[in-house]
C-alpha cells in the first residue's frame, strides 16, 4: 500500500472555514426556518462592479472569433494587467511590471510561495493568524503536530494580544521567513510606517524574507498606514507582497490576485554557501511548471478594476463594507467588550468576557441569534477568548445582526 505525506496528518481534520461551514450546515438542517446571518468567512456579498461586468462581456465576446480568441496565456500574466497594476498601485515605488505575477488569488500564492525555501527554513508568524500560513508549512514538514497549547511545533509564534494593542514584537530567535498581514486578518490591526520599518530593518539585519500579505490594503482609511511594504526603504531586498482582487473588487468567486517578487530579492543556495539565487527566477520556474495562468477574461476584468471608473466603483463597495464593520464595532463596544479593527480593515476582532471559550461562544451565538462569526481560536492559540466578525455581509443583514446582538446575554 502506498504511504501518504504524513505531514498532513499533523493538521486538524478540517480547514477552519470548512469546519465552520460544517457546523452551520448542521444547525441550518435542524432549523430550516431560522434566517442565518453569515458574518463568518470574509466572503463578499455585493455584485461585481459594472465596469468589471462590461470587461468580462467584452472579453467573452472576443473568444467567439479567431482574431480575439486566446489559448494559453503567459504564465506570469498578461502585460496589460501587470502594467495596469504597477501604474495604479506601485507608482514611484521602484516596482517593475516584470516583477508582478498574476495568479488565481492571494491564497494560492501565499500557500505556495514557501515551496521556494529550504525544508528546514524557520517560520515566524503572528498569532492569531490567517490559517493558510501555518497549515502550508505544516504540509511542507516545517512544523509538527500542535503541542498541548495548540501551537504547531517548530514554528515561531509572535503573540498579538489585546494588552499589546495586537502588535507583534520582533522575534527572539532568527526566522528565515516572517509572515506579516496588514491590515491584519483577523484582528483588523495595522502597522504604521514607523512600525513596518522596524520589520524591514530587522529582516535586512537578519537576512530574513518577509511574506507581506496586503490583501486588505484598499480598506485603509488612515493616512500614516502604508498600503505596500515597498513604501519602506530597502523592502525590495527582503519582501514579497501578495495582493488580491477578492475583497477590494468582489472577485472571491472570479479569482484573481498577484504576487510582487522584486528582482533585488536574493537568498542563499545553501546554509553557509556564498552562492545566491533570486527568488524572482525561482518563482517564475515554479509558476511555469505548476500554473498555466489566470483566465484571459478574468485578467481583463481585473484590468477594469484599475480604470478610473473601476476605482470609483470599488471605493463605493469598500465604503459600504466599512459602514457594516463600523456597525459591528459599535454593536460590540455597546456590549462593553474590547474591540479592534473595523477602521482600516473589514474585520472586527472582539475580546470575549474572561473565561469564554471562542468555539462555545460561536455555537451559542449561532443557536441563540442565528449569527455566524468566526471563533478566534481557529486563528491560533492567542485567538482563544476572541471572536471575529466581518463587514462583508449586506447592510440590512448586518443591521439585523446588531439588533439581535442587543438582547444576547454575554
CB of 32 to ligand MLT, least distance (A): 25
CA angle 111, 113, 115 (to 5 degrees): 100
CB of 42 to ligand MLT, least distance (A): 3
Position 41 contacts ligand MLT (CB under 6 A): yes
**Residue (175 or 376) nearer to ligand MLT, CB:** 376
Cα distance between residue 101 and residue 288, in whole Å: 11
**Residue (111 or 326) nearer to ligand MLT, CB:** 111
CB of 264 to ligand MLT, least distance (A): 28
Cell of 406: 442587543
Position 391 contacts ligand MLT (CB under 6 A): no
**Residue (134 or 235) nearer to ligand MLT, CB:** 134
Q: Which stretch binds ligand MLT (CB under 6 A): 40-48, 160-168, 221-229, 281-289?
A: 40-48
CA 139 to chain centre: 19
CB of 18 to ligand MLT, least distance (A): 11
Query: Count of CB atoms within 10 A of residue 79's CB?
Result: 12
User: Which segments within 160-278 are labelled E, that is strand?
Assistant: 177-181, 209-213, 239-244, 257-260, 266-268, 276-278
Q: Which stretch binds ligand MLT (CB under 6 A): 18-26, 41-49, 198-206, 348-356?
A: 41-49
Q: What end-to-end distance do the CA atoms of the chain give, in Å?
A: 52
Cell of 208: 530574513
Q: What is the DSSP string of 68-122?
A: T---S--TT--HHHHHHHHHHHSTTTT--GGGEEEES-HHHHHHHHGGGS-TT--
Cα distance between residue 111 and residue 242, in whole Å: 11
Q: Which of residues 344-363 bind ligand MLT (CB under 6 A)?
A: none
User: Which segments within 189-248 are labelled E, that is strand?
Assistant: 209-213, 239-244
Contact pattern from residue 93 through residue 132 relative to ligand MLT, giving x for each residue in contact according to CB under 6 A and a dash for the rest: --------------x----------------------x--
**Residue (99 or 241) nearer to ligand MLT, CB:** 241
Position 255 contacts ligand MLT (CB under 6 A): no
Contact pattern from residue 153 through residue 192 relative to ligand MLT, giving x for each residue in contact according to CB under 6 A and a dash for the rest: --------------------------------x-------
Query: Count of CB atoms within 10 A of residue 263's CB?
Result: 14
Position 227 contacts ligand MLT (CB under 6 A): no
Q: Which stretch binds ligand MLT (CB under 6 A): 39-47, 282-290, 291-299, 349-357?
A: 39-47
**Contact positions vs ligand MLT (CB under 6 A):** 41-43, 107, 130, 185
Amino acid at each position: 500500500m502506498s504511504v501518504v505525506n504524513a505531514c498532513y496528518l499533523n493538521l486538524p481534520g478540517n480547514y477552519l472555514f470548512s469546519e465552520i461551514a460544517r457546523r452551520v450546515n448542521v444547525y441550518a438542517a435542524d432549523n430550516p426556518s431560522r434566517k442565518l446571518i453569515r458574518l463568518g468567512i470574509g466572503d463578499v456579498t455585493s455584485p461585481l462592479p459594472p465596469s468589471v461586468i462590461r470587461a468580462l462581456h467584452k472579453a467573452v465576446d472576443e473568444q467567439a472569433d479567431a482574431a480575439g480568441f486566446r489559448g494559453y496565456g503567459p504564465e506570469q500574466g498578461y502585460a496589460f494587467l501587470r502594467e495596469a497594476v504597477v501604474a495604479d498601485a506601485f507608482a514611484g515605488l521602484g516596482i517593475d511590471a516584470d516583477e508582478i505575477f498574476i495568479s488565481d488569488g492571494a491564497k494560492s500564492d501565499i500557500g505556495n510561495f514557501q515551496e521556494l525555501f529550504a525544508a528546514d527554513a524557520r517560520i515566524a508568524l503572528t498569532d492569531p493568524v490567517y490559517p493558510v500560513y501555518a497549515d502550508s508549512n505544516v504540509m511542507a514538514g516545517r512544523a509538527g503536530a500542535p503541542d498541548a497549547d495548540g501551537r504547531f511545533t517548530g514554528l515561531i509564534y509572535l503573540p498579538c494580544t489585546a494588552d499589546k494593542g495586537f502588535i507583534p514584537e520582533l522575534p527572539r530567535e532568527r526566522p528565515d521567513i516572517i509572515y506579516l498581514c496588514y491590515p491584519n486578518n483577523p484582528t483588523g490591526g495595522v502597522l504604521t510606517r514607523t512600525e513596518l520599518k522596524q520589520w524591514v530593518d530587522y529582516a535586512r539585519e537578519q537576512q530574513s524574507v518577509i511574506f507581506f500579505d496586503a490583501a486588505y490594503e484598499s480598506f485603509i482609511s488612515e493616512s500614516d498606514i502604508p498600503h505596500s511594504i515597498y513604501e519602506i526603504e530597502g523592502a525590495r531586498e527582503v519582501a514579497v507582497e501578495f495582493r488580491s482582487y477578492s475583497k477590494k473588487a468582489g472577485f472571491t468567486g472570479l479569482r484573481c490576485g498577484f504576487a510582487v517578487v522584486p528582482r533585488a530579492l536574493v537568498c542563499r543556495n545553501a546554509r553557509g554557501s556564498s552562492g545566491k539565487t533570486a527568488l524572482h527566477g525561482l518563482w517564475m520556474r515554479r509558476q511555469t511548471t505548476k500554473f498555466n495562468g489566470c483566465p484571459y477574461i478574468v485578467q481583463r476584468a481585473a484590468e477594469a478594476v484599475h480604470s478610473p471608473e473601476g476605482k470609483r466603483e470599488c471605493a463605493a463597495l469598500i465604503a459600504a463594507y466599512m459602514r457594516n464593520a463600523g456597525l459591528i464595532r459599535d454593536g460590540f463596544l455597546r456590549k462593553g467588550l474590547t474591540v479592534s479593527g473595523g477602521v482600516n480593515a473589514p474585520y472586527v476582532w472582539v475580546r470575549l468576557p474572561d473565561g469564554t471559550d471562542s468555539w462555545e461562544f460561536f455555537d451559542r451565538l449561532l443557536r441563540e441569534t442565528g449569527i455566524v462569526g468566526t471563533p478566534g481560536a481557529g486563528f491560533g492559540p492567542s485567538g482563544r477568548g476572541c471572536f471575529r466578525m466581518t463587514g462583508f455581509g449586506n447592510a440590512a443583514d448586518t443591521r439585523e445582526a446588531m439588533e439581535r446582538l442587543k438582547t444576547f446575554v454575554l
